[in-house]
Amino acid sequence: MGKYAVGLMSGTSLDGIDAALVEIEGFAENTEVKLIEFINEKIPEDIKEEIRNSFTLDKSSVELICSLNFKLGYLFADAVKKVCEKAEIPLERLDFIGSHGQTSFHIPRAYGSFIKSTLQIGEPAVIAYETGTTVVSNFRTMDMAAGGEGAPLVPYTEYLLYKSDKNRALQNIGGIGNVTILPKNCSLDDMHAFDTGPGNMIMDEVTKRLKGVSYDKGGEIAAAGKVNEELLEELMKIEYIKAAPPKTTGRELFGSQFVDKLLHKWGYLKAEDLIATVTAFTAKSIADNYRWFVFEKCPIDEVILGGGGSYNNTLVKMIKEYLPECKVMIQEEIGYSSDAKEAIAFAVLANETLNGSCSNVIGATGAKERVVLGNITPGRRSWIGQK
C-alpha cells in the first residue's frame, strides 16, 4: 500500500487553492501515483485583494506580507482538511503534504542591486500544526542556490508521468504559460522547459476590468471579438517573448501594471476585440516559442494542454491554428486532469524530497547541478516525546 499525500498549489492567476489527495508508491523512476480526490478552494475576496496588493510595489509592505504568510497558511490547512473530508480519509492517515505556496515575488535574474531570489508565502508551520502532518514547502529556493531560476518545477514530475514513444510538449496555461519538452523515450537529461510568456494572467485582468467578471468563461467573449493585428504585433515584440531559454516570468512582468499600460494605449478598442487580441497573444507566444526554440531540436508530435487555459475553447482553437503541424489535445483527452495536474506535481515533489531524491531539471531551470528541493516542517505526529 502506498502513502497518502496532499499536494497544494495556488498560482499566479489567483483562481483558488488546488488540493489534490493522492496515493503514492515508490519514488524517482519507480513512482506510481493515483489521484483520489481533488478540490479547488476559492480564496476569499478580501484576502485575494491583499494578495494583489502584495504584488504591487506601491501597495505592498512587510507588514502585509508578514500577515498574509499566516493567513494563507490557515487557508492551505483548511484545503487539506476539506479534500480529506471529501475523500472520507481521516487526517491521521495522511503521511505528508507538499505545498508550493503563493508566490509573492520572483526575481529569476539579478538586476540593479537585487540578486536572484524568490519568495513563496503560506506558512508551512501553520499547515503542519493545523493538520498534524509533515509539510514540504519552499521548493524553489535550493534550485536558485544552485544557480538556477527556481522554475519551472513541474518538469521532473512530467518526466515521471508523461514520457512516451512520441515527442511531446506539455503546455501548462495557468497565470503564466510554461512548456516541458519530452523527446520520445527520453532520459531526464534530454528534457528542457521554460516559461513561454503569459497564460491567463493578462486575459483575466483585462476581462475583469472591461467586463466585470473574473475570466472569459470558455473564451466566449474573445470568440465574439476580432484580433487587432497591430496590437498583437506590438505585444509579440516584448523582449521576454523572443528571449532564449532558460527563462521564467510572472506577475512582475505581465501583471496589473502591464494591463494599466495596455489599456492606457489601447483602451479605445472594443472590449471583445481587446480580449480576443490578448487571447491571441497567449496562443501566438506559445506557438512562436516552439518554432524559435523547440522544433529545430525536437519536432513535436503532440501538444498536451493543461491548466485553466485548457478550458478556454477560443484559446485552444487559436493554438491549434498557430500549430497546424502538431496534434493539440487537453489533459482530459489522455485520461488526466488539467485542474489537478500542478497540485499532484507538488505531492510528487514532496515525496522525492522526503526520500532524499534530487528533483530539479537542469535543462529547465539552468541550475549548475541537480539538488534536493524543499524545506521539511515536521507535523505533530512525528514529534518525539510528545504528550
Return the HEC string of 149-182: CCCCCCHHHHHHHHCCCCCEEEEEECCEEEEEEE
What pLDDT does 252 receive? 84
Residue 384 pLDDT > 90: no
Query: Angle between the 271-293 and 229-236 helix axes, to the nearest 10 degrees?
Result: 40
What pLDDT does 386 receive? 60
CA distances from 5 to 79, 87, 90, 137, 156 (A): 13, 12, 12, 13, 18
Quick one: what percent of the chain has pLDDT higher than 70? 99
126 shares its domain with 220: no
142 shares its domain with 163: no
187 shares its domain with 324: yes
Question: What angle (nearest 5°) sits at the alpha carbon of residue 198, between those of residues 42 and 78?
Answer: 20
Q: Which whole number is the average pLDDT over 109-133? A: 96
188 shares its domain with 301: yes
Q: Express each pLDDT in 245-294 by its tens digit.
A: 989 898 889 998 999 999 999 999 999 999 999 999 999 999 999 999 99
How far is residue 178's CA from residue 195's CA, in Å, rounded to a whole number?
4
122 shares its domain with 184: no
102 shares its domain with 203: no
What pLDDT does 253 receive? 92
Q: Is 15 annotated as a binding residue?
A: yes
How far is residue 249's CA from residue 310's CA, in Å, rounded to a whole number?
20
What pLDDT does 229 receive? 98
Q: Express each pLDDT in 147-168 by its tens digit.
A: 999 988 988 998 988 889 999 9
Residue 107 pLDDT > 60: yes
168 shares its domain with 305: yes
What is the sign of the dihedral through the CA atoms of 158, 151, 372 and 139?
negative
Residue 184 pLDDT > 70: yes
What pLDDT does 149 receive? 93
CA distances from 140 to 129, 228, 281, 360 (A): 23, 38, 28, 9
Q: Is residue 200 part of a domain?
A: yes
Are the C-beta atoms of 144 and 150 separated by less than 8 Å? yes
Question: What angle (nearest 5°) sits at the alpha carbon of residue 277, between those of residues 274 and 279?
Answer: 110
In the predicted model, what is the mean pLDDT of the chain? 94
Q: In what order do the strands lie in the sheet with 168-173?
A: 192-198, 176-182, 168-173, 302-306, 327-330
Q: Is residue 35 part of a domain?
A: yes
Q: How many domains, the chain?
A: 2
56 shares its domain with 95: yes
Residue 23 pLDDT > 70: yes
Quick one: what percent of the chain has pLDDT higher than 90? 82
Residue 205 pLDDT > 60: yes
Q: Is 18 annotated as a binding residue?
A: yes
First-to-last alpha carbon distance for the chain, in angstroms, is: 29
Tell me the residue length of the chain: 387
Q: Is 12 annotated as a binding residue?
A: yes
Partner residues linked to 4 by β-bridges: 23
Q: Is 16 annotated as a binding residue?
A: yes
Q: Which whole number is the average pLDDT over 13-24? A: 91
Q: Express each pLDDT in 341-364 by its tens digit.
A: 889 999 999 999 999 999 999 988
What pLDDT does 22 receive? 97
175 shares its domain with 323: yes
Written as one letter, the residue type at 51 is: I
What pLDDT does 297 receive? 92
Q: Is residue 250 part of a domain?
A: yes
What pLDDT does 57 receive? 80
Q: Is residue 117 part of a domain?
A: yes
Residue 11 pLDDT > 80: no
Q: Is 31 annotated as a binding residue?
A: no
327 shares its domain with 353: no
Q: Is 199 annotated as a binding residue?
A: no
Q: Is residue 57 part of a domain?
A: yes
Q: Express each pLDDT in 308-338 by its tens digit.
A: 899 999 999 999 999 999 999 999 898 888 8
Query: 195: exposed, middle or buried (C-beta count within 10 Å: 0-12, 13-18, 19+)?
Result: buried
Domain range for 136 is 3-150+341-358+368-382
Q: Is residue 387 part of a domain?
A: no
Residue 387 pLDDT > 60: no
160 shares its domain with 140: no
Q: Is 17 annotated as a binding residue?
A: yes
Q: Is residue 226 part of a domain?
A: yes
Q: Express each pLDDT in 51-68 by its tens digit.
A: 989 988 888 999 999 999
DSSP state of 331: G
Confidence band, pLDDT 50/70/90 cuts, at residue 371: very high
What pLDDT does 385 receive? 65
Q: Is residue 363 part of a domain?
A: no
199 shares its domain with 308: yes
CATH code, domain with 146: 3.30.420.40
Q: Is 216 annotated as a binding residue?
A: no
Partner residues linked to 6 by β-bridges: 21, 97
Confidence band, pLDDT 50/70/90 cuts, at residue 76: very high
